[in-house]
């Protein structure tokens, strides 16, 4: 019987950040194809003895899907191990179509995105009450163009949190787009290189005007998340609005409202 291909999100780099389900699949896999240019090789340490393990960094899309189909004919569990979450910049639809055509069952196990890992590494929040309640995950146009209406300047006009993938070499374009959208030159920007990778993570803080120079000085030119957000540095601000969820005067089905200073009823 044909096996199942599992697209597993390896997370941002730390092999301990893979999900429990993802690790369990790796531990019983007959074959694993991992994205070696992006996924830490340590993530495949969960593979059992005798498992066929291959790096896909030199393979084309047709070669990848052909390999997955061939392995599914031999093994009950085949894992395509991808960086972050398979649904973000992971060519999931392109790989799934040939599997569908070949009648091979497949499923997806989500993973921790580098956007979340970068914020965690820096101790930052992506949302803040009455400051920003929206997070946009996007990229700058490069060899892959952006669809109409999704240009960075148009998205930046919302003045919410921007998590910008695959764009560390395009920081000049990021600055131009955000300045065109009205962001000040002193707006805080965070760059995290290899978020969560043991021994390799680097955090660079700066402003829209100087972040490119700071990243050049640190030699960061790949595998980095860019976060621009009015919520950056919130823990150092005294005038931020507090969450209503934990306000004593805010009632919900688990807690009655009470006046300031009034003790809770147990």
182 phi-psi bin (left φ>0, alpha ψ -120 to 50, beta other): left
Q: What is the pLDDT of residue 177?
A: 97
Cβ neighbours for 190, distance < 8 A, ≥ 6 positions apart? 118, 119, 122, 124, 203, 204, 205, 226, 227, 228, 229, 232
| Domain pair 4-109 / 114-236, same fold | no
Q: What is the pLDDT of residue 154?
A: 97
Q: What is the pLDDT of residue 1?
A: 57
Pick the CATH number of 4-109 from 3.40.50.300, 1.10.760.10, 3.40.1010.10, 2.40.50.140: 3.40.1010.10
Q: What is the pLDDT of residue 44?
A: 84
Q: What is the pLDDT of residue 42?
A: 75
Q: Which positions of the chain have pLDDT values less than 50? A: none
Q: What is the pLDDT of residue 38?
A: 80
Superfamily of domain 114-236: Tetrapyrrole methylase, C-terminal domain (3.30.950.10)
- The residue ranges of every structural domain in the chain are 4-109, 114-236
CA angle 108, 15, 216 (to 5 degrees): 105
Name 136's bridge partners.
Answer: 162
């Amino acid at each position: 019987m044909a096996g199942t291909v599992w697209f597993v999100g390896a997370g941002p780099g730390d092999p301990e950040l893979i999900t429990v389900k993802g690790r369990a699949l790796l531990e019983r896999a007959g074959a694993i194809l991992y994205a070696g240019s992006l996924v830490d090789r340590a993530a495949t340490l969960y593979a059992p003895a005798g498992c066929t393990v291959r790096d896909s960094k030199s393979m084309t899309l047709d070669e990848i899907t052909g390999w997955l189909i061939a392995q599914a004919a031999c093994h009950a569990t085949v894992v395509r191990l991808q960086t972050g979450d398979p649904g973000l910049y992971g060519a999931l639809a392109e790989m799934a179509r040939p599997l569908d055509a070949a009648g091979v069952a497949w499923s997806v196990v989500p993973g921790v995105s580098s956007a979340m890992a970068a914020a965690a590494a820096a101790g930052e929040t992506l949302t803040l009450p009455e400051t920003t309640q929206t997070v946009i995950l996007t990229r700058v146009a490069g060899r892959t163009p952006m669809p109409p209406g999704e240009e960075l300047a148009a998205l930046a006009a919302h003045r919410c949190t921007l998590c910008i993938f695959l764009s560390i070499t395009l920081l000049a374009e990021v600055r131009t787009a955000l300045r065109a959208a009205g962001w000040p030159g002193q707006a805080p920007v965070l760059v995290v290189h290899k978020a969560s990778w043991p021994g390799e993570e680097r955090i660079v803080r700066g402003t829209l005007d100087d972040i490119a120079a700071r990243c050049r000085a640190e030699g960061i030119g790949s595998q980095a998340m860019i976060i621009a957000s009015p919520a950056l540095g919130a823990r150092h601000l005294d005038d931020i609005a507090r969450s209503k969820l934990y306000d004593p005067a805010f009632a919900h089905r688990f807690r009655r409202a009470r006046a300031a200073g009034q003790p809770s009823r147990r």
